[in-house]
Amino acid sequence: MAETTLQLKTNSRDQMIDMTRDITEWVRSVGVDNGIVIVSSLHTTAGITVNENADPDVKTDMLRRFDEIYPWHHDKDLHMEGNTAAHMKTSTVGHSQTIVISRGRLVLGTWQGVYFCEFDGPRHRKVFLKVLEG
């Protein structure tokens, strides 16, 4: 078993960062042929998802739709931090993903990528990776 923590710096309140290359390089560096990698956000206002990584408009559309469902403008009136929408978005996306590793490679579809989803930025963030061989 191998594990690491990746550091990220986000640049805006809502942002989706493609982490596929970073995860792929780390899995390759630990030399795992078969198993799974667990990718976990260590934050309550940021999640992890697997989604399309070919069309950048998908990220824009997703973030816009999340704002429609969970608007920010009332949060500051409800509690001090004003980030209820960020907590709701993270609960919807989820805090982690499990990805199969086969023959040393992540098993993802042609258009799939692994994204860190920032919902309360900009911030310094951490993503925990753990490989289970099998």
pLDDT in tens, 77-115: 566 677 889 999 999 999 999 999 999 999 999 999 999
The predicted structure's pLDDT at residue 22 = 98
Write out pLDDT tens, residues 5-42: 999 999 999 999 999 999 999 999 999 999 999 999 99
Cα–chain center distance at 63: 13
**Structure confidence at residue 72 as a pLDDT band (50, 70, 90):** confident
Domains of the chain: 2-133 (2.60.120.460)
Cα–chain center distance at 88: 15
